Structure 1
Amino acid sequence: MTFVLFLAIILLPFNSLSQSKEVVALKGDGIYRLLTRHGLSSAEYMDDFITLNKSNLGRNNTLLAGVKYKLPDTAKLQATPASSSTPSKGTGKMVHYDIFGSEYADIEILSNNLKGAVYYLVGGHGGPDPGAVGKYNGNLVCEDEYAYDVTLRLARRLIEEGATVYMITRDKNDGIRDAVTLKADKDEVCYPNLTIPLNHTRRLRQRTDAVNQLYKKHKGSFQRMIAVHIDSRGRSENIDIFFYHDKRSETGEKACKILRDTIEKKYHEVQPNRGYTGTVSTRPLYVVKNTWPTAIFIELGNMNHERDVKRLVIPDNRQAVANWLALGLIKDFSTNK
């Protein structure tokens, strides 16, 4: 099954999107970067932006440098009844985290939907281990870089919703990157600032220990460990996002099913005839078995399949994946807290 863009389109009445401010896209802009630069949250306004500007977008909803685009009219949109995918309006609180990079370090708390929830986000591999490696237009595509970028975007979305978030795999230099080709490096560390070992077992034990130490600090709180990976399979195998949980964890199974159902629902909205074959199953993975919080292990696609890689290299796709996962986690929290 061919992957397509993960950008949901919410159709609003035409008059609710009229009289919008126009801005010019700069070289290298994606929708996420353009909205953020003009003070708009991608979580709230990406879908509206696409609806408003569909005729002027390039292939895969890319922006064209030098072209004028309309920004959603926030005053009018605030008067529009919110859909289930739209967060409540901002609390007015701002926070700053350097790990997201200079352009995205300042974050407005949009709601308290996840107040009291604690998340430990583990981007797959890192340090001396790049994970699965594919190619796109002659450039290497490394699992650790793209999984980390999606994980960062998810972390930022969860913070916007009021959650406490720990990045377990960390890179002080990268931040959120709005580029197709993400340069590979080996300077990732494990929380708080530990050198990642080359030995596979030691590496997994290190990040598991980091999560478990933090779990004790937040004992009694709602907690989730989320690991983000990209699978490596045969070149002909095109796969949907799928999930693993520990066989002993009913809560983990429920959380994974909520995430899976959320993504399936978004596909039905965007591509009604596409279908979705993502699965939820158990697998005795080290971090899933040994971390104390409820564990969710996510595989974003197949690094060896051309269409899966195309989904990963487009920055707005990576943001949309993060947005959709955040929606599922909000539901998981609201039904389990």
Structure 2
Amino acid sequence: MFRYLILVVFIAQAAFGQESLKTVTAEPGDGILSLLRKQGVNPYEIFDEFVALNNHDLRDSVHLIAGKTYVIPKFELETVPIVDSIQKQSTDVKKLESASYAIFGEKHKTVITKSERLKGNVYYLVSGHGGPDPGAMGVYAGKTISEDEYAYDITLRLAKELLAHGAMVYIIIQDENDGIRDERVLEIDHDEVAYPNKTIPLNQVARLKQRVEIVNDLYKSNKGKYQRLIVTHVDSRSVGQNIDVFFYYHENSKNGKKLAESIHTTFDAKYKKYQPNRSYAGTFEDRTSLYLVKKTHPAMTFIEIGNIMNAKDQVRIVDPDNRQALAKWISEGVLLDFEEE
């Protein structure tokens, strides 16, 4: 089991000569995966390199912009002979530091360093439900989907974003078999465990108490460090109720409120930029009655991603690009929260 997620399995540096790499112009409807497939390459092998090389021309680091020209990486990160060859061909060299984390799955295990903006900070990430409790249930394309699978996928994507900025990350609910998944329908299983390798109780109170104890024990062990907790859930309401992402915090926590407000502010700005004809109705408010909000020690925010029963909200969670965008927006809110201290 992943006793310390902060363990770096390997550190690699890669050099890419821009002159040696192929470019392609995105067409309407193209996504990163489909664009790379059309170039005859395995999109998962070079996805992270593609994002790193083209970051300035991607919307929220995950969406292509039609008409933009993108660089297609050719080379694996750790292939030293190829790196040497590229360096001889061009002086335009971009070095990428990376680390590998098995918990993200084989296709997404590589985390490319973006910055050290969160270096020294500690983040505890809790995805809702898991183990014997799948959480809220819905039906999409004739198949049953569950809250815990989508909350977990978004949490993993968020963890990867935070690690890329130098943070220390603890994933409290873990599934060693799933990793980050790019399917729309995420298969339901019940093999999740609580950090580091604890069986998740069936009883709801016992389950919540277990998570509180894990987080609070880790909080004590990291005393003196900048620490925050982010809990991710998917709501369940009437089929006709379309809701935006919203946030809770402890009424007596100034830092918790600031974290929630920073992420909320980020979402509001993203909606204004990318959906100018649609106002953002998500809120941030105190909800101390929630067990994890009330009992955990780090400043925290509790996030509800959407209504798993509603068709419009389902699009937000079943589309893997949207899940990545959600994680990216949350991470940008986390950066905003810390850097406005």
Structure 2: segments with no counterpart, 5+ residues: 1-20, 25-33, 74-93
Q: What amino acid maps onto 1:297 in structure 2?
A: F
2:58 equivalent to 1:46: yes
Q: CA contact under 8 A between 2:48 and 2:111: conserved in structure 1?
A: no
Q: What amino acid maps onto 1:289 in structure 2?
A: K
Match of 1:61 in 2: none
**Distance change (3 Å), C-alpha of 1:320 and 1:125:** same
Q: For 1:36, which of 47, 53, 73 is the aligned residue?
A: 47
Secondary structure of residue in 1 paired with 2:106:
coil
2:308 equivalent to 1:303: yes
Shift >3 Å, 4+ stretches: 22-27, 32-35, 41-46, 48-52, 90-93
* TM-score where L is the length of structure 1: 0.79
Which deviations, in whole Å up to 9, do the C-alpha atoms of 1:24-69 show, x marking residues without a partner? 5439x9xx858616543386553288454x27xxxxxxxxxxxxx9
Match of 1:191 in 2: 195
Match of 2:82 in 1: none
**Distance change (3 Å), C-alpha of 1:226 and 1:289:** same
Q: For 2:98, which of 78, 94, 98 is the aligned residue?
A: 94
Match of 1:314 in 2: 319
Q: CA contact under 8 A between 1:244 and 1:298: conserved in structure 2?
A: yes
Match of 1:120 in 2: 124
Give the number of aligned pairs.
288
User: How far apart, in 2, do the equivalents of 1:114 and 1:248 lie?
Assistant: 25
Match of 2:77 in 1: none
The offset of 1:73, in angstroms, is: 7.9
Match of 2:179 in 1: 175
**Distance change (3 Å), C-alpha of 1:51 and 1:313:** closer
Match of 2:276 in 1: 272
2:319 equivalent to 1:323: no
User: How far apart, in 1, do the equivalents of 2:260 and 2:245 lie?
Assistant: 11
The offset of 1:117, in angstroms, is: 1.1
User: How far apart, in 2, do the equivalents of 1:35 and 1:267 lie?
Assistant: 29
Q: CA contact under 8 A between 1:91 and 1:111: conserved in structure 2?
A: no
User: How far apart, in 2, do the equivalents of 1:195 and 1:221 lie?
Assistant: 28
State the identity %: 44
Structure 1: segments with no counterpart, 5+ residues: 1-18, 56-68, 75-89
Q: CA contact under 8 A between 1:91 and 1:110: conserved in structure 2?
A: no
User: How far apart, in 1, do the equivalents of 2:227 and 2:146 lie?
Assistant: 29
Q: What amino acid maps onto 1:302 in structure 2?
A: N
Which deviations, in whole Å up to 9, do the C-alpha atoms of 1:168-212 show, x marking residues without a partner? 000000000011110000000000000000000000011111111
Q: CA contact under 8 A between 1:226 and 1:296: conserved in structure 2?
A: yes
Match of 1:84 in 2: none
Question: Which residues of 2 match residues 1-337 of structure 1 at below 5 A?
Answer: 21-22=23-24, 25-26=36-37, 33=44, 36=47, 38-41=49-52, 46-47=58-59, 50-52=63-65, 54=66, 71-72=70-71, 92-283=96-287, 284-336=289-341
User: How far apart, in 1, do the equivalents of 2:100 and 2:157 lie?
Assistant: 15
The offset of 1:302, in angstroms, is: 0.6
Q: What amino acid maps onto 1:272 in structure 2?
A: P
Which deviations, in whole Å up to 9, do the C-alpha atoms of 1:118-144 show, x marking residues without a partner? 100000000000000001110111000
Secondary structure of residue in 2 paired with 1:121:
strand
Kindly name which structure, 1 or 2, has the bigger radius of gyration based on alpha carbons.
2
Match of 1:15 in 2: none
Which deviations, in whole Å up to 9, do the C-alpha atoms of 1:217-261 show, x marking residues without a partner? 111111111100011111111000000001111111111111111
Which deviations, in whole Å up to 9, do the C-alpha atoms of 1:50-94 show, x marking residues without a partner? 454x27xxxxxxxxxxxxx952489xxxxxxxxxxxxxxx98432
* TM-score where L is the length of structure 2: 0.78
User: How far apart, in 1, do the equivalents of 2:262 and 2:241 lie?
Assistant: 25
Which deviations, in whole Å up to 9, do the C-alpha atoms of 1:296-329 show, x marking residues without a partner? 1000001111110111100000000000000000
Q: What amino acid maps onto 1:189 in structure 2?
A: V
